[in-house]
């Protein structure tokens, strides 16, 4: 886990206007969220924090999962990654504040034992 980068990402989330945020998609194509005004998740917005880590797939789209692994140090689709970044949060807490809070929780106390229940709103 890259604690410094996760902290930077959590702080950055607090600057994203709620109307430009959704947990249910990374972004689109090869666009950088801030530059193209795309509505996207914390990962989609945060690629501006380390554009040098961006890699593209064979169709020219950004490999957001790969970027997130390299930047955060969390394995893509691991429990900790899902707790912070799963699109399932869009049904329970679809806000930049919520994304920031989850990252800070992971940093301060680790992965909550009931993270799956939280993600389902239970």
**How far is residue 57's CA from residue 67's CA, in Å, rounded to a whole number?**
12
- pLDDT value of position 18: 83
pLDDT digits (tens, 9 = 90+) for 34-86: 444 445 688 888 988 999 998 888 887 788 889 999 999 999 999 999 999 99
What predicted TM-score, i.e. pTM, was given to this entire model?
A: 0.87
pLDDT digits (tens, 9 = 90+) for 18-29: 888 888 765 544
Q: Which residues, other chains included, contact 27 with Cβ-Cβ below 8 Å and sequence gap of 6+? A: 33, 38, 40, 41, 44, 45, 47, 62, 64
Among 31-35, 43-47, 85-89, 94-98, the range scoring the smallest mean pLDDT is 31-35
């Amino acid at each position: 886990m890259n604690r410094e980068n996760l902290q930077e990402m959590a702080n950055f989330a607090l600057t994203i206007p709620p109307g430009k945020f959704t947990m249910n998609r990374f972004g689109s194509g090869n666009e950088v969220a801030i530059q193209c005004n795309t509505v996207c998740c914390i990962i989609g917005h945060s690629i501006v924090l380390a554009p040098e880590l961006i890699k593209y797939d064979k169709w020219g789209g950004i490999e957001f999962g790969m970027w997130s692994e390299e930047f955060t140090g969390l394995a893509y689709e691991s429990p900790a990654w899902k707790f912070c970044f799963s699109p399932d949060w869009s049904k329970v807490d679809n806000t930049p504040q919520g994304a920031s809070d989850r990252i800070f929780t992971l940093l301060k106390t680790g992965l909550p034992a009931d993270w799956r229940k939280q993600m389902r709103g239970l």
